[in-house]
Structure 1
C-alpha cells in the first residue's frame, strides 16, 4: 500500500475538512510535545493519508486519485453538508470514469473516481 503525505498548516481546519466534511476517520495523531507540529493519519474506505504540519515532510498543493464505488452517492452526501469552503462537482470523462475532485484548505487535491 502507498500512503501519500499531505502538508497541512492547521490541524483544526484539517479535522473539519477530512473528518467532518469528507467523512474520513482520524486513526491516530502524533505530536512530540505541546506546541510542536502534529502528524495525523486519516482513512476512508481504501484510502489512507498522512497529514503533517512538519516543514519538509511534504509540499502543499499535492494531488492524489482514490478509486471509490458509488462516487455519485458520495457526491450527493457531500452536497447535503453545510461546509462553506467546498462545493465539489462531478464529471464524466472520455476515459470512462466518473470523477469528483475536492481541494483541502491547504490546496491538496483528492480526485475520487469510479470506472464505468
Structure 2
C-alpha cells in the first residue's frame, strides 16, 4: 500500500514550528532550508506524517486534513488545552455523521485545518 503525505502551505517557519512541534507535539524528521530559499520540512506524530512547505507552487493555504482512527483523542485534547498556546482552543465534539465518534479540529496559523477523529 502506498503512503500518503499531505503537503500543507506555511508562510512563517517559526510559527509552523510553534504550532506543529511545540503545541501539537509533532517531531521534526527533516528540513530543507537553503539560505535565501523557502523552507520545506517533514513532521511526524505517530502514524501521521505531514510535509510543510513555504514554496509558492506546492499548494494553497486553507487545506483540510482528516485524521481518522486517532486513539486517545480525549486525553490528547486535554493535553493541548493544558499547553501554553493561546491562539487555538479546540472543542471536542460528537460529529453529525457518527454518534459514537469524537472529533476535534485545530486550525494552524496558515488556515489549514486538521480534524482528528476517534471512533467509538
Which TM-score bucket, shorter chain as reference? over 0.9
Which of these residues, 55, 75, 78, is aligned with residue 76 of structure 1? 78
Q: Residues 94-114 of structure 1, C-alpha deviation per residue, up to 9 Å, x if partnerless? A: 413100000000000001110
Note the 1:36-115 alignment, pairs <5 A.
36-67=37-68, 68-94=70-96, 95=98, 96-115=100-119
Runs of 4+ residues over 3 Å off in structure 1: none
- How big is the alpha-carbon RMSD for the aligned residues of Structure 1 and Structure 2? 0.8
Between Structure 1 and Structure 2, how many residues are aligned? Answer: 115
Q: Residues 50-95 of structure 1, C-alpha deviation per residue, up to 9 Å, x if partnerless? A: 0000001010000011131010000000010110110010001241
TM-score, reference length from structure 1: 0.96
Q: 2:21 maps to which residue?
A: 19
TM-score, reference length from structure 2: 0.93
C-alpha distance in structure 2 between counterparts of 1:53 and 1:90, whole Å: 30
